[in-house]
Amino acid sequence: MIFRSIRWRLQIWHGLMMVGVLIGFGVTAYQLERATRMHQVDQELEVRQKNLRQSLREGSREGPPDGPPGRRGDTPPPRHELHLPPHLSRYFSKENSPAYYGVIWTRDGQESGRSDTAPPDVPPPDGVRPEAGTITRTRGTVREAYSATPPGEVVLAGRSIAPELAALRGFALGLLAVGGGVLGIGLAGGWFLVSRVIRPIHAISDTAGRIAAGNLSERIRTEEADSELGRLAAVLNGTFARLDDAFAQQRQFTADASHELRTPVSVILSQTQATLARPRSPEEYRATLEACQRSAQRMRRLITSLLELARLDAGQDPMDRQKFDLSKMVADALELVGPLGEERSVRWTTDLSAAPCTGDAEKITQVVTNLLTNAIHHNRDQGEVRVTVRAEEGGAVLIVADTGVGIAEADLPHVFRRFFRADKARSHGDGRTGLGLAICQAIVDAHQGRLSVTSRPGAGSTFTLRLPAA
Amino acid sequence: MRILLVEDETDLLSSLALALREERYAVDTAADGEEGLYKAMNWSYDAIVLDVMLPQLDGWTVLARLRKAKKTPVLMLTARDTGRDRVRGLDTGADDYLVKPFDLDELLARLRALIRRSAGHATNGLQIGEVLIDTAARTVSRAGKHVELTAREYALVEFLAVHRGEVVTRTTLYEHLFDEDDSTLSNLLDVHVSNVRKKLGHDFIATRRGHGYQVGGPDGGIP
């Protein structure tokens, strides 16, 4: 199993490649060395062999210098020592190391002469033709060069190549030793390099493991941000940050939702338990039941809103898209919401011009109504709400500006967050769930529209809704 | 025993106040943090029930500011059931912590324990001579026989018994036995003391002239 790790796979590949390269290199170097040495030997042998041929020519012209003439032509021609001219005989002297030898055969394969350095069992080469030139052969530890003279005699010069073979063996051993050393160093270097590459990967996977195990706030340390691994770590960190954020939001949402549900439940529990502790008058029972009803209604509002958000989140609510005029819809909504403003003497100022757009009319009405209600709710008494609808390039825009307390700059980015209330001093009993704007945002998002807010604390807030024309 | 209830949820506040009053506590209420802090600083309560989520000042702030001046036992109410909140509450100086929704019985039991602990007692029973006070059942018996007391009389007996051996001033008694809505005339306290003496024996409550009353003292009341 361990060999499936990247470290081992890299190491094995690296090792195999190095062995391959070293073997290739070693074999080539050995062959070259051997060829060079053999070439040298061959050249020397060729010279000796030519000397022999020359002496033969001279001999046939002059006869063997020492041989009795009467014996020429005796049958069978006795094996006799080569008689070489003194300037040649030193080439075949026993004193030479390595000692060269020469052998001559007659046309019909009878040995006709040999140097005293020649080994006893030199086989005559077969089928040598004069035009073939000089041929070399290796027999065991000797190397021989031979050729045929035009009359058909075969002249051979040879010598032991034991010193060369020994040197080649030494060379091969040297290659082996150096190769082994290089392989060892290479493998160690490879191990080191792989370790350096692997270490940050291990660090990343360890950290990622811890993060996956639950510690979402941890991050991978990136030392070399520009390296490939640095970029990978940055990408992972970005992903973890988004996950962390999403989880935090989810946790916050769950905590908020349970908080909002706990309060009405605690009202019902304490109201009923306090009332049931002893017999009460009908009026007291009635008051308790009314309190319970208020709490139940509050829970119903909350649950409805939560379900709506969940459906919007899941994209389950199919948007019933149709073309409508935003100014007409706002006018209708104002008729419904208008009286709310009168209760607090809030003045409506409207500037509505035709603004065609596309969307789910029912859902957009919900958004519009929410924005208008908010504008009254967060307004001051005798305040003003300016409502503007107009067409603009690509769609319709609704602007609702109030003259209320406004929203602190620090709170602005969170206004559309679920359960966010800029007004911490809110009363629980006001029937607001803290989800209204979050739902609006989700609806507008589903329409590819835009809902934004600007505010001047103390002077009022302005909500702007943009919807696409198609 | 006088208790301050700080809770912005009207329906919860009313039912808690009702239940506490029926448990013979004197109950003051506050609907936001500022009012709650003001009352907590200006009266000495036997315990404070404090909601965390409050308008004006949240419960944490109220608690932190109160702790700079007073050691009144505080029971925090919160709708957040997270360990971090508990730790924070206890670290800030809350004496106990209750997560909404809770059972009234549990709230009452914890309050009793809180008051008992702050007075240095470990159990619900207070024995003074032959008088036994059960602060859980809110009953008093003398020599094994049940004695019927009115709510005020019981509150007087319990407060003096909890602070046994101490001289309790009339002002303290007024502060702890009657809530802000009581339009009690001062001489009514004497009426209650006299009634208790009739029921539990004249020596049960000793008068320290110019100082106040004492129960179970070294040389006063019943030894």
A260, A273, A427 member nearest B8 (Cβ): A427
B32 interface with A at CB cutoff 8 Å: yes
Q: CA of B166, closest CA in chain A: separation in Å?
A: 34
Instruction: Inform me whether the C-beta atom of residue A425 falls under 8 Å from chain B C-beta atoms.
Output: yes
Lookup result for tokens 């909504």: A333
Residues written for chain B = 223
Q: The dihedral of CA A353, A354, A355, A361: what is its sign?
A: positive
Q: What is the interface pTM, i.e. ipTM, of the complex? A: 0.71
In the block, residue with structure tokens 């002249």: A155
**pLDDT tens, residue by residue, B68-104:** 988 899 999 888 766 677 777 778 888 888 888 899 9
Closest CA to A134 of A193, A50, A201: A50
Distance from CA of B101 to the nearest CA of A (A): 4
Q: Closest CB to B80: pick one of A255, A267, A425.
A: A255
pLDDT surpassing 50 at residue B136: yes
Query: Given strand B139-142, what is the order of strands in its sheet?
Result: B125-128, B131-134, B139-142, B145-147
Give the pLDDT of residue A62. Answer: 44
Q: Which domains does chain B have, with CATH numbers?
A: 2-119 (3.40.50.2300), 125-214 (1.10.10.10)
Taking only the tens place, the pLDDT of each residue in A437-459 is: 889 998 998 888 999 999 888 88
A184 Cα distance to chain centroid = 29
pLDDT at position A1: 63
> Any idea which of A327-341, A352-366, B171-185 has the lowest mean pLDDT?
B171-185
For the stretch A21-75, pLDDT in tens is 999 999 999 999 999 999 999 998 888 888 888 877 766 544 444 444 434 444 4
* Cβ–Cβ below 8 Å for B102 and A428: no
Residue type at position B27: V
Beta bridge partners of A160: A142
Q: Which residues of A touch B82 (CB under 8 A)?
A: 255
Alpha helix segments (H runs only) across A226-325:
228-276, 282-314
**Would you call B100 and A429 a contact, using CB atoms and an 8 Å cutoff?**
no
Lowest mean pLDDT segment, chosen from A219-233, A357-371, A379-393, A407-421: A219-233
Taking a C-beta distance cutoff of 8 angstroms, is the pair A114, A106 a contact?
A: no
pLDDT exceeds 50 at position B220: no
Q: Chain A contacts of B60, Cβ < 8 Å?
A: none
Mean pLDDT of B177-202: 79
